[in-house]
Amino acid sequence: MNTKYEAPPYRIKMVESIRKTTKEERKTLLENAGYNPFSLKSEDVYIDLLTDSGTGAMSQEQWAALMRGDEAYAGSRSFYRLEGVVKHITGYDYFMPAHQGRGAEQVVIPNLVNEDKNIVISNIHFDTTRAHVEIAGARAIDCVIEEAYDTQNYHPFKGNFDIDKLKTLLETHDGHVAGVILTITNNSAGGQPVSMKNMQEVSRIVKDKGIPVLIDGARYAENAFFVKEREDAYKDKTILEIAREAFSYADIFLMSAKKDGLVNMGGIIAIKDDEALFQKCQTRIVPMEGFPTYGGMSGRDMDALAVGLEEALDSHYLRHRIDQARYLGDRLRDAGVPVQYPIGGHAVFVDVAKILPDIPFDQFPAQSFTNALYIESGVRAVEIGSFLMGRDPDTLENIQSSLEFMRLTLPRRTYTYKHLDHVAEGVIQVFRNRKQLKGLRLTYEPPVLRHFTAKLEPIE
Ligand code: F0G
């Protein structure tokens, strides 16, 4: 049967109640949360689209796998099961678990960067990746194609590296580039995929110079799905075959397993063949994350991850997952709401700069829209714009983000199409009443990563 939006390839065995509140209650709850949805209690949220990270539902096979967990400090059976799956998917020789994506980053990145090798290039660094590059003393430079910033025009692979810009950067910083990171999918550009052709080219150019290529593959299976759908040569290949080819173009794989690992907590470090680097990471992982055969994960969680990694390669699962995002995106587009187009893998990114052009960036238009959505519908989204960007560390001025997004991030296997209707109706209602929205000012601001804990108030 040829349906526009794929029905779920699973049925529901266990439910978790969620609570509806009234608009009046939500006004008070948001005020008490300092107009920052990060400070809301989850029980006061009806549909939680803050993130797709660690928020998905595990399968019965994963819950069963938990029971097999071997909690030995060293050499646990769970470690070897997970290692087997990671090696099978990546084709790499070396593996270590980490407690989550940023745990993997803190082990590997300082082993690549030094005084001389102090530049890291990515299509777009995810926030924590950028933070670890900077903490290690290097500069993080983004190098995505210009089309990524043009939300209204279709491009099949808006996550791609700008190859000419990459070549120029490699020349300008010749001898100083510590690594090049392929973020697949490209979260910050809107969950946008990177084509296989682009990965091949990046790999060829970068390896010619002896620079390691990393994959930040939190959503690598979703990326493989887009490659299958949009790159002709891959339409008959399996997701596993496509993923393996992608890994063949890199040397190091870092993964937040909380996304395409289908678990609530976990991370992966895999290294193709560089034994010396593996040994350095083994040395560093002990004080940072834990002994190399558990790296911050319990045995049972490693077993659940071993199963989740395999489940995430199922093309029916992926089709439904990505169709959910498209369904929500299409409903919004039909109502005239500008969103990053085409819709990416894990979320719909609403282009608030286009909706609220009169609210200046330093009054955080996307945060204002996000707050209005919560009051309207009990849906929690997240701002990805100038509020998140923070301040320039030298001038202390607010940085203007190139894009002012509200991200509606879909947890995996968690919500139904009907939930998404509720979300769409809430967004459309706020969009129609957009003239009433006001900017925000900060009343408390921590010095770094302010968006998590800052407090705000509406400007009357
Ligand atoms: N890389 C990417 C592309 C990510 O999206 C994330 C997390 C990380 C690394 C870090 O992984 O959270 O397990 O430490 N992204 C989440 C998000 C938090 O909401 O987009 P982590």
Shared domain for 366 and 351, answered yes or no, is yes
Of 262, 292, 311, the residue at which a domain comes to its end is 311
Q: Is residue 261 part of a domain?
A: yes
What pLDDT is stored for residue 132 in this prediction? 95
Give the pLDDT confidence score for residue 393 in this predicted structure: 79
Quick check: is 259 catalytic?
Answer: yes
Residue nearest to atom 11 of ligand 1 (CA): 101
Q: How far apart are CA 342 and CA 354, in angstroms?
A: 16
Residues 305, 404, single domain; the answer is no
Q: Considering only CA atoms, which residue is closest to atom 16 of ligand 1?
A: 53
How many angstroms is it from 101 CA to the middle of ligand 1?
Answer: 6
From 33, 104, 136, 218, active-site residue: 218
Domain assignment of residue 2, yes or no = no
188 lines ligand 1 (CB under 6 A): no
Supply the pLDDT for residue 449: 87
What percentage of residues in the chain have a pLDDT greater than 70? 100
pTM here is 0.97
Give the least confident one: 173-177, 365-369, 446-450. Answer: 446-450
User: Are 98 and 217 found together in one domain?
Assistant: yes
Residue 301, amino acid: D
What pLDDT, on the 0 to 100 scale, is given for residue 373?
A: 98
* Same domain membership, residue 319 and residue 223: no
pLDDT confidence of residue 447: 86
**Residue 184: pLDDT above 90?**
yes
Q: Which domain holds residue 200?
A: 60-311
Q: Would you say residue 133 has pLDDT above 90?
A: yes
User: Do 298 and 366 share a domain, yes or no?
Assistant: no
Mean pLDDT of 138-156: 96
Is 258 an annotated catalytic residue?
no
Put residue 449 in one of left, alpha, beta given phi > 0 → left and psi -120 to 50 → alpha. Answer: left
Say which residue, 396 or 2, is predicted with more confidence.
396
Using the 3D structure, point to which of 284, 311, 338 is the last residue of a domain: 311
Picking from 276, 311, 346, the residue at the C-terminal end of a domain is 311
**Cα-to-centroid distance, 431 and ligand 1 (Å):** 28
For residue 53, the CA-to-ligand 1 centroid distance in Å is 7
- Asked whether residue 446 falls in the same domain as residue 361, the answer is yes
- 237-283 tens-digit pLDDT: 999 999 999 999 999 999 999 999 999 999 999 999 999 999 999 99
User: In angstroms, what is the span from residue 219 Cα to ligand 1's centroid?
Assistant: 9
pLDDT band at 409 (very low <50, low <70, confident <90, very high): very high
Mutate to test the pocket of ligand 1, among 38, 183, 259 (most ligand atoms within 8 A of CB): 259
Q: Identify the active-site residue in 216, 260, 330, 351.
A: 216
pLDDT at 448: 82
Question: CB of 191 closer than 6 A to ligand 1?
Answer: no
Examine residue 275 and state whether it is found in any structural domain, yes or no: yes
Token pair belonging to 246: 């992608």
Q: Which pLDDT score is estimated for 394? A: 85
Give CA–CA dist 358/343, Å, rounded: 26
Compute the distance from residue 190 Cα to the ligand 1 centre, in Å. Answer: 13
Pocket test for ligand 1, best of 256, 405, 452 (most atoms within 8 A of CB): 256
334 and 197 both lie in a single domain = no
Provide the CA 275 distance to its chain's centre, in angstroms: 29
pLDDT of residue 3: 86
Q: How confident is the model over 43-90, as pLDDT tens digits? A: 999 999 999 999 999 999 999 999 999 999 999 999 999 999 999 999
pLDDT of residue 353 exceeding 80 = yes
**What mean pLDDT comes out for the span 336-342?**
98
Q: How many domains does the chain have?
A: 2
Considering the domain architecture, whether residues 288 and 409 belong to the same structural domain is answered as no
Q: Based on the fold, state whether residues 302 and 328 are members of the same structural domain.
A: no
**Token duo for residue 83:** 């290692």
Question: Which residues on neighbouring strands pair with residue 140, listed in sequence order?
Answer: 120
Is the pLDDT confidence value at 1 over 70?
Answer: no
Instruction: Compute the mean pLDDT over every residue in the chain, rounded to the nearest whole number.
Output: 97
> Which CATH number do you get for residue 241?
3.40.640.10
Catalytic residue among 70, 127, 274, 314: 127
Q: Does 150 reside within a domain?
A: yes
Nearest CA to ligand 1 atom 20: 51
Whether residue 36 has pLDDT greater than 90? yes
